[in-house]
């Protein structure tokens, strides 16, 4: 047999190789490229949603998660001070005996609330040998009783002390340079140390003298004792607002969380998707902070139970790592 030419031999080999490959199968290079693109898309999608979580609306409600639109506000220049509750001048009166004689009856005791004109005691006069009543000169609470049944009292003897505690003075002690910034007329929020209840009032005056023992300046406000639980002699703490600065965007301090070393707030989109937004912060006061960048006006920011959202994001990240 005669040998085939070299060119014919090469052509035959190429045809055989072509016939052995399926026309629909991609070559190895194309498959590698496709896998690489798929991995890249997966990593991009993972990065995009790494700081987000989905919390169904009912679960969010049951967990106490609340949102509010980011809005403009003011940041207060505040001074934290302490003070003491005292009765208002003229709010204390005494019920006294008009004539000397023995006490025949007592009709009230310390802690009782009485009204003006109410009979508190009965005294037998040594002059007329008849009994007369001693009445409350004002309405208020009895803070002291200085008589006993059968005991003798003299003319003008104080039997009861009555205090009208519907309003009290709050004497706030201010030190150092703060005295130069605090003037009458500014708002004051007073807080009870026993239960944390607060009441807002206005600074009435700054007293001219200096408290000898503490070397402080005393600023005074009037407090309405609506629930009767503000008690003379009790220590309180207060925030005096010296000035307020407008801010284009503020959020409550309760909205802030730290995530991977960054300060963030969580913004809800739709009904159940929560995403962490790193924020740049400005001035703050006791309740809120100015936001310079990271969120927009009207964004639905988590303002209560934000740590629940943080924990859910952390849980999702941990599950993904495993």
Q: In this structure, what CATH number is given to the domain that contains residue 283?
A: 2.40.420.20
pTM, rounded to two decimals: 0.60
Report the CATH number that the domain containing residue 174 is assigned in CATH: 2.40.30.170
Domain total in the chain: 3
Q: Are residue 270 and residue 240 in the same domain, yes or no?
A: no
**In terms of domains, do 178 and 317 share one?**
no
Examine the domain organization and report whether 220 and 280 are in the same domain. Answer: no
pLDDT at 126: 95
Cα separation values, 64 from 5, 253, 304, 312, Å? 87, 16, 7, 14
- 230 with 256, same domain: the answer is no
pLDDT value, residue 317: 61
Domain termination residue (choose one: 122, 141, 163) = 163
Residue 24 lies in a domain: no
Let me know whether 208 and 251 are in one domain.
no
67 and 123 assigned to the same domain: no
Residue 15 belongs to some domain of the structure: no
Domain span at residue 264 reads 50-74+246-321
Same domain, 157 and 301: no
Are 97 and 214 within one domain?
A: no
CATH number, domain with residue 112: 2.40.50.100
Core vs surface per residue 31-64: b (16+ CB within 10 A) or e: eeeeeeeeeeeeeeeeeeeebbbebeeeebeeee
What pLDDT sits at residue 288? 94
139 burial via Cβ count (<10 Å: 0-12, 13-18, 19+): middle
Tens-digit pLDDT profile for the chain (322 aa)? 444 443 444 344 434 444 444 444 444 445 544 444 444 343 334 334 459 999 999 999 999 999 999 999 999 888 889 999 999 999 999 999 999 999 999 999 999 999 999 999 999 999 999 999 999 999 999 999 999 999 999 999 999 999 999 999 999 998 877 777 788 999 999 999 999 999 999 999 999 888 777 788 999 999 999 888 999 999 999 999 888 899 999 999 999 999 999 999 999 999 999 999 999 999 998 899 999 999 999 999 999 999 999 999 988 665 555 4
Considering the domain architecture, whether residues 195 and 292 belong to the same structural domain is answered as: no
Q: 109 with 233, same domain?
A: no
177 inside domain: yes
Domain limit, last residue, from 128, 163, 198: 163
Residue with tokens 């503000």: 230
The verdict on 70 and 114 lying in the same domain is: no
- Please indicate, yes or no, whether residues 316 and 301 belong to a single structural domain of this protein: yes
């Amino acid at each position: 047999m005669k040998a085939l030419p070299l060119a014919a031999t090469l052509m035959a080999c190429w045809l055989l190789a072509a016939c052995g490959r399926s026309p629909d199968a991609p070559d190895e290079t194309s498959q590698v490229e496709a896998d690489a693109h798929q991995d890249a898309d997966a990593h991009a999608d993972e990065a995009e949603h790494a700081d987000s979580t989905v919390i169904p609306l009912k679960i969010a409600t049951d967990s106490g998660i609340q949102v509010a639109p980011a809005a403009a506000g003011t940041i207060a220049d505040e001074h934290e001070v302490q003070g003491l509750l005292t009765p208002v001048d003229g709010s204390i009166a005494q019920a006294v005996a008009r004539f000397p004689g023995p006490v025949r009856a007592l009709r009230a005791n310390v802690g009782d609330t009485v009204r003006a004109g109410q009979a508190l005691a009965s005294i037998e006069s040594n002059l007329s040998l008849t009994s007369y009543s001693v009445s409350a000169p004002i309405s208020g609470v009895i803070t002291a009783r200085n008589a006993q049944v059968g005991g003798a009292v003299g003319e003008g003897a104080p039997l009861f002390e009555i205090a009208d505690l519907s309003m009290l003075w709050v004497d706030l002690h201010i030190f150092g340079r703060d005295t130069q910034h605090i003037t009458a007329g500014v708002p004051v929020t007073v807080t009870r140390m026993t239960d944390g209840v607060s009441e807002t009032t206005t600074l009435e005056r700054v007293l001219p003298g200096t408290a000898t023992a503490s070397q402080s300046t005393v600023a005074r406000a009037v407090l309405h004792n609506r629930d009767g639980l503000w008690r003379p002699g009790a220590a309180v703490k207060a925030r005096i607002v010296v000035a307020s600065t407008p801010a284009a965007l503020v959020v409550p301090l309760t909205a802030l969380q730290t995530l991977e070393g960054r300060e963030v707030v969580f913004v809800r989109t739709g009904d159940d998707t929560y995403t962490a937004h790193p924020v740049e912060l400005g001035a703050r006061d006791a309740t809120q902070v100015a936001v310079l960048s990271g969120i927009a006006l009207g964004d639905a920011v988590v303002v209560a139970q934000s740590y629940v959202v943080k924990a859910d994001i952390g849980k999702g990240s941990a599950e993904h790592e495993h």
